[in-house]
Structure 1
Amino acid sequence: MSKIVGSILFVFLLGFLVFFTWSLNQGPKQVIEQVFDVTILDSVSMEEAAGPP
């Protein structure tokens, strides 16, 4: 039983390590956009996209 728990824990820790090292190469903004399939817009870019009033 403890071998199964150890194996599962090892897989989770290895997955976390891979995700962590991958996210270091990306910025936190890109990680959130790719993991949750969303687009994050900065308030500055939204003002530029709107143009002058």
Structure 2
Amino acid sequence: MVHARLKLKALFFLTCSFANFVWLCYCNVYLISPSFLAFRWFFFIFLGF
């Protein structure tokens, strides 16, 4: 049971990290404006990924 929960947590973390990475790349390419960069970093720190 514990191992399954750890696996699920790891999978969740990896998925979120990957999604966040893709989102950051998207933002870098398409939405380079100072206000959005500030918002992006706030979100990045807020999510903790």
**If the length of structure 1 is used for normalisation, what is the TM-score?**
0.55
- Choose between structure 1 and 2: higher helix proportion: 2
**If the length of structure 2 is used for normalisation, what is the TM-score?**
0.59
Q: Percent identity?
A: 14
Moved over 2 A (4+): none
The alignment yields a C-alpha RMSD, in angstroms, of 2.3
May I ask how many residue pairs the two structures share in their alignment? 35
* Structure 1 gaps, min length 5: 38-53
* Structure 2 gaps, min length 5: 44-49
State the structure with bigger RCO (CA 8 A, min sep 6), 1 or 2. 2
